[in-house]
């Protein structure tokens, strides 16, 4: 009969010490992976929403907000995106044509560019639910009221893009976390 006795006390103690020392580094790796995933999510969704809605990405950048927090001891990241309609004046300069106003790649029939008394410029369209009526202004000119500000709704298509990328974000987080942990283990091992 063969009897084998191994003394692993020193080796196990060394491994336990290494693991305890690496716990803060593992937390840092999780934080870095969360930040990278949130930046990836922002970049991918901005690009696709911009292409889908034919909007410049600079308009979408101000609508993103990242928040890192710890929820019941677990690290998490919250990505917020504003789905409010975009004012047409923010898209770019308008060009008048026979149908109305073309701003960027979007055509708005019956729309016009106007400057208000306070100097505020915007794109408007006449009418609405009630009939328009002519009113004489203080400066002697006639205007048809009511007018309403023209906005571009981004809610529907943006929600579809976010749902699609939300499903991909978990898989992307797993890949990035593996890369970050691999980096930590290789740096500590040297």
Both 77 and 96 in one domain: the answer is no
Both 62 and 33 in one domain: the answer is yes
For the chain, first and last CA: distance in Å?
41
Alpha helical stretches, state H, the chain? 9-53, 57-61, 155-189
| pTM of the model as a whole | 0.71
Range of the domain at 95: 87-152
Mean pLDDT of 90-107: 89
Both 73 and 165 in one domain: the answer is yes
Both 167 and 111 in one domain: the answer is no
Q: Is 2 part of any domain?
A: no
Mean pLDDT of 38-67: 88
Q: How confident is the model at residue 83 (pLDDT cuts 50, 70, 90)?
A: confident
Q: Which residues pair with 112 in a beta bridge?
A: 124
Q: Give the C-alpha separation, 81 to 141, whole Å.
A: 42
Per-residue model confidence (pLDDT) at position 3: 46
Exposed, middle or buried by CB within 10 Å (0-12, 13-18, 19+), for 90? middle
Q: Is 65 part of any domain?
A: yes
Both 108 and 138 in one domain: the answer is yes
Helix pair angle (9-53, 155-189), 10° resolution = 150
Q: Is 1 part of any domain?
A: no
Q: Give the C-alpha separation, 139 to 142, whole Å.
A: 9
Number of domains in the chain: 2
Both 107 and 74 in one domain: the answer is no
The yes-or-no verdict on residue 21 having pLDDT over 70 is no
Both 17 and 76 in one domain: the answer is yes
Q: What is the pLDDT of residues 136-157, one digit of tens each?
A: 777 887 777 778 888 888 888 8
Q: Is 7 part of any domain?
A: no
Percent with pLDDT over 70 in the chain: 85
């Amino acid at each position: 009969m063969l009897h084998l006795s191994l003394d692993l006390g020193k080796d196990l103690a060394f491994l336990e010490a290494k693991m305890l020392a690496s716990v803060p580094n593992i937390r840092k790796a999780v934080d870095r992976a969360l930040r990278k995933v949130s930046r990836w999510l922002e970049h991918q969704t901005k690009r696709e929403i911009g292409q889908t809605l034919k909007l410049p990405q600079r308009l979408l950048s101000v609508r993103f907000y990242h928040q890192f927090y710890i929820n019941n001891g677990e690290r998490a990241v919250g990505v917020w995106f504003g789905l409010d309609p975009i004012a047409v004046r923010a898209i770019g300069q308008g060009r008048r044509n026979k149908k109305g106003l073309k701003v960027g790649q979007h055509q708005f029939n019956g729309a016009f560019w106007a400057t208000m008394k306070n100097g505020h410029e915007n794109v408007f369209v006449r009418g609405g639910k009630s009939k328009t009526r002519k009113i004489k202004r203080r400066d002697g000119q006639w205007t048809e009221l009511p007018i309403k500000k023209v906005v571009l709704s981004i809610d529907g298509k943006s929600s579809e893009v976010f749902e699609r990328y939300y499903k991909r974000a978990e898989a992307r987080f797993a890949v990035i976390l593996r890369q970050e942990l691999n980096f930590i283990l290789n740096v500590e091992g040297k």
